[in-house]
């Protein structure tokens, strides 16, 4: 589905991503793990057209995304749930969800029913102002909004950030459910343990380079990953 080849991204002459290759096959959950500043968010931003590549190509269903605007990339079927959720605090839950469908002109009722089924809490609170939701509910809202664009590939930037462990578990259960319903997922996480347990395929990013890759379960057992990212020896 997604193929990244020789991706380099620089900010003012400093390379944040130094020529990486990776793939997200159809119907998988892939994860990119790495420490703060490793370049994870930069990779996602370049896929959705928010950051310019200095070299390399990004292919989606075999076609290059070069030259497409972020809106056009959403229309192709790639949606990003950004770090920090970026919800609109002064709009209601349902208004926020509908923003995800801004590129669509068709009837939303079926998809609204779908996300309310996934997130019954949002249904109960559909008229509440989004700024008054808890952190976990705001993360659910950011995911629900992204689903309204009907992505084939849903990318999530640190969905666990700042949330209590029990809430994080709930979010990951929903990620698995969304995947089961046919959406391919690319997840970036500092919570390497949970991300690798969830993902079929994992990539480890260190200072702009992919240093290791393989099935999530295999990376979880790897000694150097355990020491560097899981705090275990
Ligand atoms: P985190 O988990 O802390 O968000 P990350 O792995 O997602 O980290 P990035 O946010 O991609 O890392 O940052 C990679 C490097 O690029 C960092 O050194 C960061 O300071 C730098 N960087 C990111 N965005 C910009 C920008 N807009 N201008 C200049 N440098 C940037």
User: What is the pLDDT at residue 55?
Assistant: 96
Structure tokens at 185: 């997922």
- Mean local confidence (pLDDT), 1-24: 96
Residue 165 class from Cβ within 10 Å (0-12 exposed, 13-18 middle, 19+ buried)? exposed
For the CA of 157, the nearest atom of ligand 1? 7
The pTM of the full predicted model, rounded to 2 decimals, is 0.93
Question: Could you give the CA distance from residue 184 to residue 186 in angstroms, rounded to a whole number?
Answer: 7
Question: Could you give the CA distance from residue 143 to residue 123 in angstroms, rounded to a whole number?
Answer: 14
Ligand 1 mutation pick, 38, 44, 45, 186, max ligand atoms within 8 A of CB: 38
Question: Could you give the CA distance from residue 212 to residue 219 in angstroms, rounded to a whole number?
Answer: 8
Cβ neighbours for 120, distance < 8 A, ≥ 6 positions apart: none
Which residue has a Cα nearest atom 21 of ligand 1? 16
Residue 13 CB: number of other CB atoms within 10 A?
Answer: 6
> Cβ(38) to ligand 1 under 6 A?
yes
Q: Which of 140, 141, 146 is nearest to 100 (CA)?
A: 146
Query: What confidence tens digit (pLDDT) does each residue in 188-221 have?
Result: 988 899 999 999 999 999 999 999 999 999 999 9
Question: Could you give the CA distance from residue 104 to residue 149 in angstroms, rounded to a whole number?
Answer: 7
Structure tokens at 159: 């969905």
Query: What confidence tens digit (pLDDT) does each residue in 112-142 have?
Result: 999 999 999 999 999 999 999 999 999 999 9
Q: What does pLDDT average to over the chain?
A: 93
- Mean local confidence (pLDDT), 1-30: 96
3-state secondary structure of 33: strand
Which residue has a Cα nearest atom 14 of ligand 1? 39
ipTM of the complex: 0.92
Ligand 1 center to residue 18 CA distance, Å? 13
Banded pLDDT at 101 (limits 50, 70, 90):
confident
Banded pLDDT at 224 (limits 50, 70, 90):
confident
Question: Could you give the CA distance from residue 134 to residue 5 in angstroms, rounded to a whole number?
Answer: 39
Is residue 168 scored above 70 in pLDDT? Answer: yes
User: What is the pLDDT at residue 226?
Assistant: 87
> Cβ(159) to ligand 1 under 6 A?
no
Question: Could you give the CA distance from residue 218 to residue 216 in angstroms, rounded to a whole number?
Answer: 5
Lowest mean pLDDT among 71-75, 88-92, 161-165: 161-165
- Mean local confidence (pLDDT), 138-147: 94
User: What share of the chain in percent tops pLDDT 90?
Assistant: 81
Q: Which of 131, 145, 181, 140 is nearest to 159 (CA)?
A: 140
User: What is the pLDDT at residue 93?
Assistant: 97
- Mean local confidence (pLDDT), 142-156: 95
Structure tokens at 31: 């994860």
Banded pLDDT at 232 (limits 50, 70, 90):
low
Q: Give the up-direction half-sphere exposure of residue 106: CA atoms within 13 A in the CB hemisphere.
A: 6
CA angle 82, 189, 225 (to 5 degrees): 160
Lowest mean pLDDT among 4-8, 82-86, 100-104, 113-117: 100-104
- Mean local confidence (pLDDT), 149-154: 96
Task: Please state the separation of Cα 167 from the chain's center in Å.
Answer: 17
């Amino acid at each position: 589905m997604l193929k990244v080849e020789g991706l380099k991204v620089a900010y003012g002459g400093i390379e944040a991503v130094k020529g990486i290759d990776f793939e997200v096959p159809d119907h998988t959950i892939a994860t990119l793990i790495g420490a703060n500043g490793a370049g994870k968010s930069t990779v996602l931003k370049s896929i959705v057209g928010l950051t310019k590549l200095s070299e390399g190509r990004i292919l989606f269903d075999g076609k290059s995304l070069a030259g497409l605007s972020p809106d056009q990339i959403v229309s192709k079927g790639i949606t990003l749930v950004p770090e920090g959720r970026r919800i609109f605090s002064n709009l209601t839950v349902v208004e926020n969800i509908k923003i995800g469908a801004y590129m669509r002109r068709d009837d939303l009722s079926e998809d609204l029913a779908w996300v309310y089924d996934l997130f019954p809490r949002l249904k109960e609170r559909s008229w509440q102002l989004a700024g008054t939701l808890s952190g976990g509910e705001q993360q659910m809202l950011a995911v629900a909004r992204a689903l309204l664009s009907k992505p084939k590939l849903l990318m999530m930037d640190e969905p666990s950030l700042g949330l209590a462990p029990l809430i994080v578990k709930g979010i990951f259960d929903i990620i698995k459910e969304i995947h089961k319903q046919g959406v391919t997922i690319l997840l970036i996480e500092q919570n390497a343990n949970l991300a690798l347990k969830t993902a079929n395929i994992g990539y480890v990013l260190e200072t702009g380079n992919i240093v290791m890759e393989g099935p999530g379960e295999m990376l979880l057992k790897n000694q150097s990953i355990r020491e560097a990212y899981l705090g275990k020896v």
